[in-house]
């Protein structure tokens, strides 16, 4: 068994909403609990909600841990404070044991794999003129070509075409919008990569979580850590392989997954609504730190 360097990390994610006057809060959906794996072990995880709420836990269709907070009292502020401590032991330079049948592209998933991948192999955004598919095919340098090299070229090619730019607005650009504008956030990079991979016949999914960024050397964070979005592609034998097109990296060495999803809109950390006057909402602030 190969031993990888162990990082013990603390993730603090605090979301604060303020209102002009007391409002009645509808149930809120929380996706803040990291996903455990062979390389990620949760030591402790706690979510504190103010005002007092009844918090229930479940797993969604993807196996993500989801909490629902239900409120009784009216309030002029809402604070959701999540703290998780974990051990991360992913390899910086992973070796992927890809099945012989999938080493070269194009390849064929087995019937069972194709059935189980389902919607994860289907594009979620319209591409009526085939522009995205044509752009993606430009990274295929031979027939056959090395599968992993193709996906690496696609990932690094995105950061070569698209300029990283912070955007505070909610929502995500479509792949065509990102290509047209030539800039995007980490979630726009991830969506473009996943949709491009799907257009080439790969099963792919989006991942939302946290970036551990000591020394502030990676894009997507202005400090030691932040929320982040990246992608995974399924290859027989190796399973789900992590690609972070924002930082041109492969593998999950500095990534802490919270949710894997088909569509980025399914991975919102905190979502909910309130009942009150139309201008009751004053603002929202989010503070995230990922520290050793």
3-state secondary structure of 59: strand
Contacts of 284 (CB under 8 A, 6+ apart): 15, 16, 17, 18
pLDDT of amino acid 222: 53
- For residue 146, give Cα distances in angstroms to 51, 111, 142, 159: 54, 22, 8, 21
Q: Could you tell me what percent of the chain has a pLDDT over 70?
A: 95
Q: Which residues make beta-bridge pairs with 69? A: 28, 55
Max intra-chain CA distance, the chain: 64
| Average pLDDT value for the chain | 93
pLDDT of amino acid 4: 58
- For residue 201, give Cα distances in angstroms to 65, 98, 149, 225, 234: 29, 17, 16, 33, 11
Q: In what order do the strands lie in the sheet with 270-271?
A: 53-59, 65-71, 28-30, 270-271
pLDDT of amino acid 81: 98
Kindly tell me the sign of the dihedral angle through the C-alpha atoms of 14, 33, 246, 6: positive
pLDDT of amino acid 224: 57
pLDDT of amino acid 213: 83
- Going by pLDDT thresholds of 50, 70 and 90, the confidence category of residue 93 is confident
**DSSP string for 106-163:** S----HHHHHHHGGGGS-SS--TT-HHHHHHHTT--SSSEEHHHHHHHHHHHHHHHSE
**What is the C-alpha separation between 137 and 114, in angstroms, rounded?**
21
Query: Is residue 202 scored above 80 in pLDDT?
Result: yes
pLDDT of amino acid 171: 81
Least confident of 13-27, 152-166, 209-223: 209-223
Per-residue pLDDT averaged across 103-116, rounded? 98
Per-residue pLDDT averaged across 241-262, rounded? 95
Q: pLDDT digit string (tens) for 216-244?
A: 555 555 555 689 999 999 999 999 999 99
Residue found by looking up tokens 């703290």 in the block: 83
The HSE-up count of residue 92 (CA atoms within 13 Å, CB side) is 4
**What is the C-alpha separation between 135 and 156, in angstroms, rounded?**
14
Q: At what angle do helices 186-199 and 147-161 cross, to 10 degrees?
A: 140
pLDDT of amino acid 167: 76
Q: Which residues make beta-bridge pairs with 78? A: 17
Query: Is residue 204 scored above 80 in pLDDT?
Result: yes
Kindly tell me the sign of the dihedral angle through the C-alpha atoms of 180, 185, 189, 194: negative
Cut 0.85: pTM above it: yes
Look at 222 and 105; give whichever has higher pLDDT: 105
Per-residue pLDDT averaged across 151-161, rounded? 96
- Going by pLDDT thresholds of 50, 70 and 90, the confidence category of residue 91 is confident
Per-residue pLDDT averaged across 66-75, rounded? 97
pLDDT of amino acid 70: 98
Query: Is residue 207 scored above 50 in pLDDT?
Result: yes
């Amino acid at each position: 068994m190969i031993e990888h360097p162990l990082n013990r990390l603390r993730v603090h994610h605090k979301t604060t909403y303020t209102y002009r006057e007391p409002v009645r809060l509808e149930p809120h959906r929380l996706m803040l609990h990291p996903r455990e794996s062979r390389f990620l072990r949760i030591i402790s995880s706690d979510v504190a909600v103010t005002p007092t709420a009844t918090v229930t836990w479940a797993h969604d269709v993807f196996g993500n841990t989801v909490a629902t907070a239900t409120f009784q009292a009216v309030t002029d502020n809402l604070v959701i404070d999540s703290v998780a401590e974990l051990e991360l032991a992913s390899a910086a330079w992973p070796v992927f044991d890809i099945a012989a049948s999938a080493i070269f592209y194009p390849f064929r998933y087995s019937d069972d794999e194709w059935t189980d991948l389902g919607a994860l192999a289907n594009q979620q955004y319209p591409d009526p003129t085939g522009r995205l598919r044509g752009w993606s095919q430009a990274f295929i340098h031979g027939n056959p070509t090395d599968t992993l090299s193709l996906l690496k070229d696609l990932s690094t090619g995105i950061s070569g075409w698209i300029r990283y730019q912070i955007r505070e607005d909610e929502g995500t650009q479509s792949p065509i919008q990102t290509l047209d504008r030539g800039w995007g956030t980490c979630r726009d990079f991830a969506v473009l990569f996943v949709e491009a991979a799907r257009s080439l016949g790969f099963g792919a999914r989006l991942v939302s979580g946290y970036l551990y960024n000591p020394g502030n050397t990676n894009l997507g964070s202005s400090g030691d850590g932040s929320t982040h979005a990246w992608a995974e592609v399924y290859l027989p034998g190796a399973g789900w392989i992590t690609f972070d097109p924002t930082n041109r990296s492969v593998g999950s060495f500095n990534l802490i997954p919270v949710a894997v999803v088909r569509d980025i809109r399914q991975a919102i950390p905190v979502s909910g609504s309130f009942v009150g006057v139309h201008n009751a909402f004053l603002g929202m602030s989010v503070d995230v730190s990922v520290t050793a």
